[in-house]
Structure 1
Amino acid sequence: MESYIIGETAYNHEGDFEYLKRMIVDIGEIPLNAIKFHLLLESSSCFQKKHPLAEGIKKWMFSREQWDDLIQFSHEKKLGVIALCDDIESIQFINESHRDIKAIELHATSLNEYYMLREAIKFPNQIILGIGGSTLDEIAYAVDFLKENGKKDILLMYGFQAYPTDYKDIHLSKMLKIKDLFNLAIGYADHTAYDDENNVDISALGAAMGFHILEKHYTPEFGVKRVDYHTAVGKEEMIRIKKKMDLYLNVFGGDLLRMSDREIQYGNIGPMKKAVVAKKDIHKGEKIRLEHLCFKRTEEESTIYQRDFTDLIGLEVLVDIHEDEIVDFTKVQYRFNKARYSELTGGLEEKK
């Protein structure tokens, strides 16, 4: 399993088209797997007229034509594109012009918004649901709505967005329970303070639990006071996070029940696990008794598992076996006791 990191741009660009293009270049050079944009085309669809951001956010918005350019540019940089749609118009735009992007995302603020969900089911690819600060009932409503309308490729993005998030509010253990409850892929959206000394470690911790998807805010100007800078990391930090995630995932492994080649080698009987050996000399013609055997580590491998050593008891030895020598079935006469047919048929044959 490899890490999958989404570079979140949010509104850090502050409406500067070229600045956002610079972010795309950086995220592609790190390289991350995907880039996430906040799309808002009609502010009146998202904010009340009297809302403090209703007018101010307009200077951070791009036109449909600009988004066409930015999405195409991201494809050229080999990045998956994720569109977090803040209004219905944005989902409609994606459905009309960019149905080939990786995913659309509904923010936690729109998790149960009927009209947004209804438009989202028209999108052919993955739908991401932001579930930070949401109850299980709210998550279930959105998941059920999508599934009942034929959507199967659903990703739950967990992350408490407090800008920055306090350690005690992260609760990574919830991801395990949510994954079990909904049986869906789940990712971690980290919002640790940009200047926190543990930022890299906390961002990568989900990977230590087997969660390979991370969403992380990025900025080309680390620590500079811009919109959404509070939790955004720079190029150097993002590279460190990626390396640490890959390390954690490598240690975590994949299929927990499958043994690696090294594990199998470690489990070999003889060189590692103790083998069945002669506790004392056993002479040809003798029948093996319990007191003839013991367990010791040996230089060579053995073919008998420790748990099967009792199968040797009572068998006749074909050659002299010396003390400390491995005892296996090549050195004994194994008598195959033929079962009576009547025993296998319950005596039915004899009753005929």
Structure 2
Amino acid sequence: MSVFIIAEAGVNHNGKLDLAKKMVDKAKEAGADCIKFQTFVSKYIVSKGADKADYQKKQTGADESQLSMLKKLELSFNDFIELNEYCKASRIRFLSTAFDFNSIDFLNNLGMGMWKVPSGEITNLPYLIKIAKTHQPIIMSTGMSTLDEIQTAVDALNRYDSGAITLLHCTTEYPAPYTDVNLNAIKTMRDTLHLPVGYSDHTKGIEIPMAAVALGATVIEKHFTLDKNLEGPDHKASLEPDELASMVNAIRNVELAMGTGEKKPAECELKNMAVARKSIIASRSIKEGEVLSEDNLTVKRPGTGISPMLWFEVLGQRAIREFEEDELIEI
């Protein structure tokens, strides 16, 4: 099955429906399987005095509150109804992360059919229960989490009969330093929790998602924007459309390159075996009946004669006929 690629629009539409639709177009052009937004009612998810994250302060200033910042990034439920229809018409899967109970109910009624649980909600038991009770598939990011916290969240989802669960390894920093990515955690999570594991990437560039796919990631999520210079908290740590397209193309190439795991000559190699391999060959003229020895044999290309792996089986035998120098030996 192909890697499921999520183009994370998030709030990079800056609260503008027309910008969100343009992002749908670009995600589709780039070859993503899905475009994901964030659905929330600001007053239900953050208190008045909540501070911004450091990266948010850096990108949007430290004067306004997190609540004030998020309010400017909201799309209405009616906007999401329109976006969902626009995605259907564009033939790309619509997905949005719900950050509050009202948004869960809305998206469930919209018939989204799948959930993306963000890293910040992995310790929110009431949220997990409400999602699980829809009995729909769940993709859950695990940034900032320990293995025990992930297991506890998975147990809670299973207890309330959630749909199939896929985990995403993630480093919750924007951009995430390469030294803190810890991609080997993908294998640890898969082997310990016995669930499919993907990767939600916050690093700069596209190299790390490639490595994640090579490690077996089944889902790749990556933030993208129409323009990194737009005002807003997440644009700087996002890919622009041409970069997103490059990432999708590279992932598909890595998928092709992964193969079956069986070690055998590839179909394209077969025609080169005779050219690249060697055979046992006469190093000088040999008379019929002469003993074949290291004095009159050597190993050269092409590989259409007796394999050098049979060297010691050939030594000591007598020549069945005359051989000219550089002629393939027969026995």
SS at match of 1:276: strand
Displacement after TM superposition at 1:79 (Å): 1.3
Displacement after TM superposition at 1:223 (Å): 0.7
Displacement after TM superposition at 1:133 (Å): 1.7
Displacement after TM superposition at 1:139 (Å): 2.0
* Structure 2 unaligned blocks of 5 or more: 51-64
Counterpart selection for 2:259 from 237, 251, 254 = 254
Structure 1 partner of 2:59? none
Mapped contact 2:276–2:303 kept (Cα < 8 A): no
- Once the two structures are overlaid, the 10-residue window that deviates more, 132-141 or 148-157, is 148-157
The 2-side partners of 1:153 and 1:263 are apart by 40
Structure 2 partner of 1:175? 186
- Once the two structures are overlaid, the 10-residue window that deviates more, 26-35 or 250-259, is 250-259
Corresponding letter in the other structure for 1:74: C
Mapped contact 1:189–1:215 kept (Cα < 8 A): yes
Give the paired residue count: 312
Equivalence map 1:160-239=2 (5 Å): 160-192=171-203, 199-200=204-205, 203-208=206-211, 210=214, 211=217, 213-239=219-245
- Once the two structures are overlaid, the 10-residue window that deviates more, 173-182 or 123-132, is 173-182
Displacement after TM superposition at 1:97 (Å): 3.0
Displacement after TM superposition at 1:106 (Å): 0.8
Displacement after TM superposition at 1:32 (Å): 2.6
- Once the two structures are overlaid, the 10-residue window that deviates more, 84-93 or 144-153, is 144-153
Counterpart selection for 1:96 from 87, 109, 113 = 109
The 1-side partners of 2:112 and 2:256 are apart by 37
SS at match of 2:222: strand
Displacement after TM superposition at 1:38 (Å): 0.8
TM-score normalised by length of structure 1? 0.71
Corresponding letter in the other structure for 1:232: S
- Once the two structures are overlaid, the 10-residue window that deviates more, 76-85 or 129-138, is 76-85
The 2-side partners of 1:282 and 1:272 are apart by 29
Give a deviation string over 1:256-277, Cα, whole Å, max 9, x none. Answer: 43542233444x2x53222234
Mapped contact 2:168–2:197 kept (Cα < 8 A): yes
The 1-side partners of 2:308 and 2:162 are apart by 51
Corresponding letter in the other structure for 2:259: G
SS at match of 1:21: helix
Give a deviation string over 1:325-351, Cα, whole Å, max 9, x none. Answer: 434xxx55xxxxxxxxxxxxxxxxxxx
Greater RCO structure (CA 8 Å; 6+ sep) = 2
SS at match of 2:237: coil
Corresponding letter in the other structure for 2:91: K
Displacement after TM superposition at 1:130 (Å): 0.8
Q: Does 1:296 align with 2:299?
A: yes
Q: Does 1:74 align with 2:78?
A: no
Q: Does 1:47 align with 2:46?
A: yes
Corresponding letter in the other structure for 2:102: E
TM-score normalised by length of structure 2? 0.74
Larger radius of gyration: 1
Q: Does 1:155 align with 2:160?
A: no
The 1-side partners of 2:42 and 2:82 are apart by 19
Corresponding letter in the other structure for 2:266: S
Structure 2 partner of 1:337? none
Structure 2 partner of 1:276? 280
Displacement after TM superposition at 1:36 (Å): 0.7
Structure 1 partner of 2:98? 85
Structure 1 partner of 2:328? 326
Shift of the 141–321 alpha-carbon distance from structure 1 to 2, 3 Å rule, reads farther
Give a deviation string over 1:88-110, Cα, whole Å, max 9, x none. Answer: 3333333333144xx41111111
Displacement after TM superposition at 1:134 (Å): 1.2
The 1-side partners of 2:283 and 2:74 are apart by 83
Corresponding letter in the other structure for 2:85: Q
The 1-side partners of 2:160 and 2:300 are apart by 61
Mapped contact 2:282–2:324 kept (Cα < 8 A): yes
Give a deviation string over 1:33-90, Cα, whole Å, max 9, x none. Answer: 210111225843x334654545764454344343222112112112122222212333
